[in-house]
Amino acid sequence: MATTMLAFSPLSNSTFSTPFKTSKNPQNLTPFLALRRNPFSIRCFQSPETTIPTQVQTFWGWLSDRGIISAKTPLKPGIVSEGLGLLAQKNLAKNEVVLEMPKKFWISPETVSASEIGSVCNGLKPWVSVALFLMREKMLGDASSWKPYIDILPDCTNSTIYWSEEELSELQGSQLLNTTLGVKDLVANEFAKLEEEVIVPNRGLFPFDMTLNDFVWAFGILRSRAFTRLEGQSLVLIPLADLINHSPDITVQDYAYEIRGAGLFSRELLFSLKTPVPVKAGDQVLIQYDLNKSNAELALDYGFIESRSERNAYTLTLEIPESDPFFGDKLDIAESNGMGEVAYFDIVLDQPLPALMLPYLRLLALSGQDAFLLESIFRNSIWGHLELPISRANEELICQVIRNACTAALSGYTTTIEEDEKLLAQSDLNPRLKIAIGVRLGEKKVLQQIDGVFKEREMEMGGFEYYQERRLKDLGLAGAQGEKLPWIGEV
């Protein structure tokens, strides 16, 4: 195997966020996005205040005028430690419906198509068109019919896309840093295209100074609050419902929301939100955003992380190098088994390696005397063989490559696990710094775990049964201990 690549993986299978995929890892820290902010400062909603801000009151009045809420509505917005949130107005039972929002109050790509800018948004990616719509509505100010909603949206969250260069430097060496820079790059590219193809040629519709910062704001809003797993919808903002915060204590898999018909004789669609757990009057209604997201994904999408160990993950990217003399055969075998030239493996702290990782690695490492297994007569049975050790040379190479990659990745961080643990024990840590330390610590622990797994394999290698021994045994030509009988040649 000439090279085995370890890199970050673009992950985003969000619930309450976006269908964006990131691509490559920028190599440096230079932010192309100058967000003017003091290090570790956050404007986002801070500790609870008792009075409801005027914008929230106006928003509530706006919803009430449109008949969306009434005296019977079992929740209302309030200031909580996560910013704004939804507070129960009465005791709520598990699975009780707390909000129903008709489709005409959603902001989706359809809303954009039907709007004044619809004709110039044809062909835009759904998220780009909604981001452009949001930016424009914000700039329209009083002239926007969405103003009461736009006014309650935060200027930023603690998502890493909003971090300053100094804040990002705390993530040095981490996959999250690469992913964040990749996402920012992607957003900047989309904005440049949008500016050239839509904004500038249609100045009549966009008579404002629209900057990359504005687009990043809109992107962050979508990433943190658009619902993406709704039937028939790519992404959709649901005012009021998007004030729901996340609770790490809610671990039910079922989604707390759905789209359903408004009634037997109505063709209207409703977004319906339920509380997944019972809530006492006055307490916050919360949901689980996504049980499958890693801390890095939570940090990127929403700007928070959790302490549960399974949120710590590291994505190994493995690739069949084109320079491999057996590239074609290996690719064919990978593809016949549902994989490809590149494979991403999410390794989770305290959990076993993904089942397909060792077979894929053995395939990548196949060479020399083992290469006969790549011949077409083995095509139907090869994957079964790869599920078990092939040869000592093959297994040694895998261990060596992975352990070297772990050492290289670990050397990229500027702090050790012990230093991070000490830092995290401090009280009053800035939330962004806490996220940075938590994520880099988690990544390092996973890397250490991977290294440990392959170190153990190296030590156990002498006791493994390899392909040739299995084959001899199958043919009844090996002794009880797998030793080759003296008169046996190659099989």
Closest distance of CB 240 from ligand SAM, Å? 10
Closest distance of CB 167 from ligand SAM, Å? 15
Residue linked to tokens 């929740």: 75
Stretches 63-71, 80-88, 353-361, 397-405: which one binds ligand SAM (CB under 6 A)? 80-88
What does the angle CA 103 – CA 56 – CA 306 come to, to the nearest 5 degrees?
80
Contact at 8 Å (CB) between 86 and 92? Answer: no
Which residue type sits at 214? D
Q: Is 173 in the site for ligand SAM (CB under 6 A)?
A: no
Is 255 a residue of the active site?
no
C-alpha R_g of the chain:
27
Q: Is 45 in the site for ligand SAM (CB under 6 A)?
A: yes
What residues between 275 and 314 interact with ligand SAM by CB under 6 A?
302-304
Closest distance of CB 77 from ligand SAM, Å? 9
Closest distance of CB 137 from ligand SAM, Å? 16
Q: Detail the DSSP E strand segments found in 81-192.
A: 83-88, 97-102
Closest distance of CB 304 from ligand SAM, Å? 4
Q: Is 264 left (phi over 0), alpha (psi -120 to 50) or beta?
A: alpha
Using CB atoms within 10 Å of the CB of residue 312, give its burial: 0 to 12 exposed, 13 to 18 middle, 19+ buried. buried
Q: Is 157 in the site for ligand SAM (CB under 6 A)?
A: yes
Q: Which of 14, 15, 22, 245 binds ligand SAM (CB under 6 A)?
A: 245
Stretches 2-10, 76-84, 114-122, 167-175: which one binds ligand SAM (CB under 6 A)? 76-84
Q: Which is nearer to ligand SAM, 271 or 302 (CB)?
A: 302
Residues 83-112 as x/- pattern, contact with ligand SAM by CB under 6 A: xxx---------------------------
Q: Is 242 in the site for ligand SAM (CB under 6 A)?
A: yes
Q: What's the CA gap between 341 and 335, in Å, rounded? A: 8
DSSP assignment string, 268-323: EEEEEEE-SS-B-TTSEEEE---TT--HHHHHHHTS-----GGG-EEEEEEE--TT
Q: What's the CA gap between 257 and 230, in Å, rounded? A: 8
Q: Is 138 in the site for ligand SAM (CB under 6 A)?
A: no
Q: Is 224 in the site for ligand SAM (CB under 6 A)?
A: yes
Count of residues engaged in binding ligand SAM, rule: CB under 6 A? 16
Dihedrals φ, ψ of 313, to 5°?
-145, 160
Contact at 8 Å (CB) between 413 and 447? Answer: no
**Catalytic residue selected from 149, 162, 257, 289:** 289
Binding site for ligand SAM (CB under 6 A): 45, 82-85, 154, 157, 224-225, 242-243, 245-246, 302-304
Catalytic residue annotation: 289
